Amino acid sequence: MSEFDEPVPAPGEIVSTPGADVLVPSTTIRATAIPPTTPAETELSGVVQFSERKQARRENWRLIRRRPAFIVGVFIVLVWTSCAMLGDKITPHDPFKPSSSTHLSPSAKYPFGTDSIGRDVLSRVMVGARDVIKVAPLGALLGVLFGVIIGMVMGYFGGWLDNVLSRIVEAFLSLPVVLVALLAITTLGSSTWVVIGVVSALFTPVVARTVRSAVLAERDLDYVTSAKLRGESSAFVMFKEILPNVSGPIIVELTVRVGYAVFTVATLSFLGAGPQPPSPDWGVQVSDGFRVISASIWWTTFFPAAAIASLVIAVNLIADSVQSVLEAS
């Protein structure tokens, strides 16, 4: 009997699917930047093959790193993170100490000016990221975690369970975010953990819906049927079989949610549900300075607000880069 050995394409090589011929989608150009491997090389080194997934991940990582948007985003995030961590060690003035020089406009000594009780706005903006940088990612992470679990259950089981959960999720989504958050925080107190909990609870339904639709596309694939045929539990199928295949949208969701979380947390502290004065939190500062803005004292509001905006934009730049690279691969 004549035997044949079938090919192992080089890493990242396009395996044409039957019927599709070799119409290589143009997106693959972006997706992979592996130097071409000749078939001979591939045949010889099993190592290349073995580390293929790692290599794909490395390649994706390299593609992400090459994007200017990603570099700018990471740079801004790093600046705010180091400011928050180093705190008063690097601030030009004591961010908490009042002085007699109140409401000074930006100058060489006080580049961002001073506030109503004479504190340096620059120093306060620098340390003002402390809360946000902790609370936003944690809140987003927890929100994604719960969202994944709920979305997975909705998508996988479907039927009445999906119906019930979908209605609950929709009900949640129809409530005004800020109102719910304020209500929760005024009832439960404004500790950091409550804010994290509130942010995660706000995001869970949104994430659940995204995950649900990704799971819906997977659950009817034959590998799931095959798992059922060998008697796997639903939990195994959901989290060991399906989860790795929907990780792309989940990672994208996570990065996008961090950006929203920054915004939400800042909004909450602006409304007084969160850190309280004299905290230098950006939201608190904006809310402080907001009162005097009509007297043309713009800098106490502008700089912390710009800080919030820069962090949100930075996180979104990162999210965009991650998304476009992951979606292309």
Are the C-beta atoms of 197 and 180 separated by less than 8 Å? no
Are the C-beta atoms of 152 and 215 separated by less than 8 Å? yes
Span from 32-40, 78-86, 156-164, 321-329 in contact with other proteins (CB under 8 A): 32-40
Query: Would you call the peptide bond into 278 cis, given omega within 30 degrees of 0 as the criterion?
Result: yes
Q: 231-238 long-range contacts, Cβ below 8 Å, gap at least 24?
A: 234/156, 234/157, 237/156, 238/152, 238/153, 238/156
Give the separation between CA 290 and CA 115, rounded to whole angstroms: 11
Span from 21-29, 81-89, 154-162, 292-300 in contact with other proteins (CB under 8 A): 21-29
Q: Within 209-238, which residues bind other proteins (CB under 8 A)?
A: 221-223, 225-226, 228-232
Q: Does 66 bind other proteins (CB under 8 A)?
A: no
Q: Does 69 bind other proteins (CB under 8 A)?
A: no
By beta-carbon proximity to other proteins, the closer residue of 20 and 78 is: 20
Q: Does 92 bind other proteins (CB under 8 A)?
A: no
Min separation Cβ 26 and other proteins, Å: 4
Are the C-beta atoms of 14 and 24 separated by less than 8 Å? yes
Give the separation between CA 309 and CA 97, rounded to whole angstroms: 26
Q: Does 163 bind other proteins (CB under 8 A)?
A: no
Among 54, 244, 295, 296, binds other proteins (CB under 8 A): 244
Span from 12-20, 249-257, 280-288, 314-322 in contact with other proteins (CB under 8 A): 12-20
Report CA-CA distances (Å) from 208 to 168, 172, 211, 241, 311.
Answer: 11, 12, 5, 18, 25
By beta-carbon proximity to other proteins, the closer residue of 45 and 82 is: 45
Q: Does 28 bind other proteins (CB under 8 A)?
A: yes
Cα–chain center distance at 8: 36
Give the separation between CA 117 and CA 254, rounded to whole angstroms: 39
Span from 20-28, 129-137, 259-267, 308-316 in contact with other proteins (CB under 8 A): 20-28
- Contacts with other proteins, residue ranges (CB under 8 A): 1-26, 28-29, 32-34, 36, 39, 46, 49-50, 52-53, 221-223, 225-226, 228-232, 241, 244-245, 247
